[in-house]
Amino acid sequence: MSEPLRISKQTAKRFLLKALGFYPQLEVTTETMWRQLEAVQLDPVATIERNHHLVLMNRVQSYQIPSFSQLLEKGQAFEYWANEACIIPIEDYPLFEFVRRYRQQAFKAELEQYSSTVKLMNDLFQENGPLSSRDFTSSGKVIGGWDLDKATTKETSYVLSLLHRTGDIQVVRRDGATRFFHLTEQVIPEQLLEHASKITPSEASRRLLEKYYRAYRLFSATDARYGWQKIKAADRRRLHGEMMHEEVIVPVEIEGVARPYAVLKEDANRIMAEITAPETNSVRFLPPLDNLLWSRERLEDIFSFYYRWEIYIPKDKRQFGAYAMPILEGDQLIGRMDPLFDRKSGTLIVQRLELDSDFSLTNKRKENIQHGLTVLAKHIGAHSVQLEHSM
């Protein structure tokens, strides 16, 4: 097993920001950046824009919203659950086969209960090609989605969700929040289907774990999502230790941080290299599900920044706002901004902007924040920025 790499918090921050695509790359394309990130999380909430668009807008200067759907339409990507629902490179399809097999067994009885609906859907897909949930009529309601104790979800929508989880259908296109599905055998390339049918669960699990390492770049076995697989804490520690013993990963000790971290062996030299700090006049506003924010514990350990997404917290108990976006200035997270996009007037409204106590609002910082807001407004299609409270 390799000796631990001993680094400062500053080194950890700069390595992580560079690995996750925040350093200026003028010519980088949407596809290149998305593959560098390994996966981008999806979410229907569009307070100012959907998470996946905001993630890429912050990293790709030339990003255009239609380019995202083109990843699906050109067969370069598929949607499945990694760090929750994500868009993932198509070549990784076999890695999730053991997850799909598990869900096929888990949902078998339930899908048999809806067998007539499943048959109807299969027939319609065969006849018509890609369809959305709106293309299916259903008088039946079931408890699903975000329902608690009242059946308000359309039966066909619920069955579509089950079939997507089991891998029987795939998302082939997005139109805003509307997803269009088609049968897996009509979407996934034959060679990938064949590979998926032959891959063993242990191989798939191992390769998915390595993909997780590449996505997180700096990670800890304390992460409940470790490897994007449901692994008990004791088993996570054992597996983590085995990967260190094999020297697939290298331990990292960060000055002033008690939690042990690790990086892939291939990243060991990169994390020890001198990385020039990004310009502090580069201000970005991160969506709540940005890849940098996937590990809240890592944010606190390395950036000394506390963050919780408050959208599901009752309004009177929120501290920063339903869609508060962390503010990244250079290599520091300096505060939060709670936005709202008034699409009717084309105005990006800043409902609240607050810096952490360690950062003061200097004239230069104020100028940088205003520039960052102008860039964000341009990306989402807003014509103006309105601050409800002056900075």
pLDDT per residue over 2-22, tens digit each?
899 999 999 999 999 999 999
Q: Is the pLDDT of residue 375 over 70?
A: yes
Q: In terms of Cα–Cα distance, which of 6, 76, 73, 5 is closest to 34?
A: 76
Domains of the chain are 21-216 (no CATH), 283-387 (3.40.630)
Q: Is the pLDDT of residue 195 over 90?
A: yes
Segment among 116-130, 140-154, 370-384 with least mean pLDDT: 140-154
pLDDT at 129: 95
pLDDT at 291: 98
Q: Tell whether pTM > 0.85.
A: yes
Q: Give the residue with greater pLDDT, 164 vs 137.
A: 164
Q: Give the residue with greater pLDDT, 157 vs 24.
A: 157
Q: In terms of Cα–Cα distance, which of 119, 154, 115 is closest to 136?
A: 154
**What would the pLDDT profile of 281-304 be if each residue is shown by its tens digit?**
789 999 999 999 999 999 999 999
Give me the percent of the chain exceeding a pLDDT of 90: 81
pLDDT at 325: 98
Give me the percent of the chain exceeding a pLDDT of 70: 95
Q: Evaluate whether 89 touches 71 at the Cβ level (below 8 Å).
A: no
State which H helix or E strand residue 346 sits in. Answer: none
Q: In terms of Cα–Cα distance, which of 290, 234, 229, 227 is closest to 58?
A: 290
User: What's the pLDDT band for 308 if we cut at 50, 70, 90?
Assistant: very high
Q: Is the pLDDT of residue 163 over 70?
A: yes
pLDDT at 79: 96
Q: Evaluate whether 342 touches 349 at the Cβ level (below 8 Å).
A: yes
